[in-house]
Amino acid sequence: MWSIPIIDGPVPWIVYTVALAFFLVLLIRRPTTRWVLTALLALLVGALVGLGIGLLIDATDLFGADPLPMPVLWWAAATFAAIGLAVANLWRSPLWRKIVAIVGIVVFAIAGGIGINAVYGLNPTLGSVFGIVDDNPIVVPTNTATADPDAGPLYETFTPPADMPAKGQQGTQVIPATASGFNARAAGIYLPPAALVPNAPALPLVIMMMGHPGNPDPSAIAGVLDDFAAKNKGLAPIVVVPDQLGPDGNDPACADSKAYGNAETYVTKDVVAWATQNLHIIQDPKYWVIAGYSNGGGCAVKYLAKYPDKWKNLIDISGEPFPGSEDPGSVTSTIYGGDTAAFEAAKPIAIMQAAPAGTYDGMTAVFTAGSQDPTYIQAAKDVSGEAQAVGMTVTYYEVPGAGHVGDALTGGLQEGFTVMYPVLGLSAK
């Protein structure tokens, strides 16, 4: 049940159709003047309530500093207008109409929730909406052949067999928190087509972290990489999407703490160790990418800066300028025990500035943000500017027309891998 798709596929249209049917049944009554006026008033008041809730959320920054996208406000207005109509049917109506109205309120709420979720485009399944990782264990290929760096780049040396799958596979794996003890949900895994053939080549590795709130769901990156693989002999990186948040909805701020556990150690030690021991990857950080979106982007750039021996490439999509940027006071208190100096020292720019000269030479970094996302545009400019100053080869890109949600994620991944494919030996320059 948790794997039911609620952005693509038939489920949304079925729900919308059912909601429309309920709406029409509740709207169509004997057209007396009383009912026409009552229905119009109910629809208007409901719509205003929906818009008011949206504007209140914006005014109080309840979900962060970014305003709600306009389609979300329209969905809220439409949903509450329909609910208002249902409430109006609870008076001066027969029992059956009251029952339809009560059920209709639930149906309208579900339809509105699905519509708003589709606007954001970040929770593709029912489980992901509730932070539940669907248990879908993936069989990890056991091929242990090593890559020969002298043989040439993969795009030249790999010949795909005729029966290679057209798309990769997605699934989950529980990654033991051996060093960290961190309580993490199962990680998402993506295996590209080239990983699913006999005598598969060792492939590059991407460790990708999602936003907060969010889930270790590989769907977005898998969709983008399937498209790249289709144009490049089935070649793409193997991807691990670990849970840097934990199951309780907290934000560990990409750090180790008594409050929320050792999230940093989990990603930088446990996940890395598991990947090197269990995945058929090129065992050279030159072919590894640390990547992230929003909260995960802040983690990614921090980990790259702090552990330059583990990764040589970065994709930071609409990333926070530093972990905990949305509530520095709370993070300083909760994660760093009130130690402001420690909090400041953990910021990616501070880490890069404190590193010896030459630490980041040869690294490739891509920073993206939606062109309609001014807060994260500034963050990307600030951090990418410092990355370039310390020697990284930097690409900065604004996704046209995108805000901070699904379109920014997809567009950022597309630009990121456009840059990374030649770097990882998966395509010609």
Q: What is the pLDDT of residue 403?
A: 87
Reference 247, options 191, 186, 299; nearest CA is 186
Question: Looking at the domain assignment, is residue 223 inside a domain?
Answer: yes
**Claim to verify: residue 371 and residue 261 sit in the same structural domain:** yes
Domain annotation covers residue 429: no
**Same domain for 202 and 319?**
yes
Give 335-340's long-range contacts (Cβ < 8 A, gap of 24+).
335/252, 335/253, 335/255, 335/257, 335/259, 335/260, 336/255, 336/257, 337/258
Q: Is residue 202 part of a domain?
A: yes
Asked whether residue 63 is domain-assigned, the answer is yes
Contact 370, 292 (CB under 8 A): no
Which of 117, 110, 54, 121 lies closest to 82, judged by CA? 110
| Dihedral Cα 53, 58, 63, 64, nearest 10 deg | -170
Is residue 411 domain-shared with residue 366, that is, in the same domain? Answer: yes
In this structure, are 170 and 59 located in the same domain? no
With cut-offs at 50, 70 and 90, classify the pLDDT of residue 96: very high
Lowest-confidence region among 29-43, 147-161, 232-246, 259-273: 147-161
CB within 8 Å of 335: residues ≥ 6 apart = 252, 253, 255, 257, 259, 260, 324, 343
Q: Say if 192 falls within a structural domain.
A: yes
Q: Which domain-ending residue is among 120, 154, 181?
A: 120
Considering the domain boundaries, does residue 21 fall inside one? yes
Q: Burial-class residue 131 by CB neighbours within 10 Å (0-12, 13-18, 19+).
A: middle
pLDDT for res 148:
63
pLDDT score recorded for residue 122: 73
Domain with 302 in it: what CATH number?
Answer: 3.40.50.1820
Residue pair 288/364 in contact (Cβ under 8 Å)? The answer is: no
Q: Is the pLDDT of residue 132 over 70?
A: no
The conformation of residue 206, written as its DSSP 8-state character, comes to: E
Comparing C-alpha atoms, which of 109, 107, 241, 236 is closest to residue 187?
A: 241
Query: Cβ of 205: how many Cβ atoms within 10 Å?
Result: 26
Say if residues 317 and 294 touch (Cβ distance below 8 Å).
Answer: yes
Q: Which domain holds residue 58?
A: 10-120
Rounded Cα distance between 303 and 268, Å, is: 7
Q: Are residues 279 and 329 in the same domain?
A: yes
Whole-prediction pTM: 0.85
Does any domain span residue 115? yes
How many Å apart are CA 413 and CA 429, to the nearest integer?
18
In a shared domain, residues 37 and 104: yes
Do 18 and 95 lie in one domain? The reply is: yes
User: Residue 131's pLDDT is what?
Assistant: 67
> Is-contact 268 309, C-beta < 8 A?
no
- Whether 150 and 111 map to the same domain: the answer is no
pLDDT for residue 139? 78
Which whole-number Å values give the CA distances from 310 to 6, 384, 411, in the listed order?
37, 19, 26
Q: For 62-66, 158-162, 197-201, 349-353, which range has the lowest pLDDT when averaged over its residues?
A: 62-66
Q: 94 and 150: one domain? A: no
DSSP string, 253-287: TTSEETTTEEHHHIIIIIIHHHHHHHS-B-S-GGG
pLDDT in tens, 259-272: 999 999 999 999 99
Residue 278 within a domain = yes
Q: Considering just the CA atoms, what is the radius of gyration of the chain in Å?
A: 24
Q: Do 322 and 364 share a domain, yes or no?
A: yes
151: how many CB neighbours lie within 10 A of its CB?
11
Give the pLDDT band of residue 64 (cuts 50, 70, 90).
low
Q: What is the pLDDT of residue 149?
A: 59
Give the residue-averaged pLDDT of 92-117.
94
pLDDT of residue 160: 94
* Last residue in a domain, options 120, 149, 176: 120
- Element containing residue 50 per DSSP (H, E): helix 33-60
Token pair in block for residue 169: 């596979």
Q: In 3D, which of 118, 279, 150, 296 has the Cα closest to residue 217? A: 296
Residue 143 is predicted with a pLDDT of 60
Q: Per DSSP, which regions of 307-401 are E strands?
A: 313-317, 364-370, 393-399
Q: Are residues 98 and 222 in the same domain?
A: no
Q: How far is CA 102 from the centre of its chain?
A: 35
Which of 120, 155, 179 is the last residue before a domain boundary? Answer: 120
For 335-382, the pLDDT digits (tens) are 999 999 999 999 999 999 999 999 999 999 999 999 999 999 999 999
DSSP assignment of 172-193, as one string? EEPPP-TTT----PPEEEEE-G
**pLDDT band with cut points at 50, 70 and 90 for residue 66:** low
Number of domains in the chain: 2
Same domain, 70 and 98: yes
Q: Which of helix, strand or coil describes residue 310?
A: coil
Q: Which of 77-86, 120-129, 262-271, 416-425 has the lowest mean pLDDT?
A: 120-129
Nearest in space to 281 (alpha carbons), one of 419, 114, 140: 140
